[in-house]
Chain A
Amino acid sequence: DTAVSQTPKYLVTQMGNDKSIKCEQNLGHDTMYWYKQDSKKFLKIMFSYNNKELIINETVPNRFSPKSPDKAHLNLHINSLELGDSAVYFCASSQVDSHGYTFGSGTRLTVV
């Protein structure tokens, strides 16, 4: 019954690998997001996406790419992983004129 679910919860991988994080929401929301939370707990928007528009934070390296097979899913693909990509990645969703975002529980990515 989880509203926004992310998998995996933990991901440990070597530098240079390519990995994906999946996100699904069952709330019928129009927009989904990916945020990165660094070791100092700072949350930074990476992407927002609805069925009409993808908004990319221009500071995000093009090694990161969102892919949305349908309205309920927004997956995050990361190519050529680097040590600095280690962080917790949060997926979220919202509805227009909603009362806030609903977040997933996060994916802790560790690049070694």
Chain B
Amino acid sequence: SQQGEEDPQALSIQEGENATMNCSYKTSINNLQWYRQNSGRGLVHLILIRSNEREKHSGRLRVTLDTSKKSSSLLITASRAADTASYFCATDATGNTPLVFGKGTRLSVIA
């Protein structure tokens, strides 16, 4: 299975600190995506990084991708209480197969 595995499963930090979540996967990919899910809501797309990219930024988000290690990280800088959510990585192996999601990291940001 190409399912991603996030690490850690749960993370609790103080507001203003940085949060780092990691994702590992098993097969070759076209791209890797990160999603956020607030409690009781649907998933929201955050950022996509292609297999030929190593780093990408979007606001307070920084994503890295190491295809040799089949891993990615999501860094949220200067976290806020509103960042409290579950974060999922998802891998896209080809253009015709659906995204495969990891098990997610539950982030709690304490004000």
Contacts and interface: CB of A to CB of B under 8 A. Distances in A.
B97 interface: yes
A109 to B, nearest CB: 14
B33 A41 contact: no
Interface residues of B, number: 22
Given A33-B98, A100-B48, A101-B99, A41 B86 contact: yes
The residue among A35, A41, A92, A96 with the most chain B CB atoms within 10 A of its own CB is A41
B103 A41 contact: yes
A40 B103 contact: yes
B41 interface: yes
A1 interface: no
B10 to A, nearest CB: 11
Interface string B34-47: 01010011111100
A79 interface: no
A41 B104 CA distance: 8
B101 A106 contact: no
Contact of A90 (B43, B97, B103): B43
Interface in A92-106: 92, 96-97, 99-106
A35 B103 CA distance: 13
B25 interface: no
B98 A45 contact: yes
B59 interface: no
Interface in B60-111: 86, 88, 95-101, 103-104, 106
Contacts of A90: 42-43
Contacts of B44: 103
Interface string A14-49: 000000000000000000010100001111010010
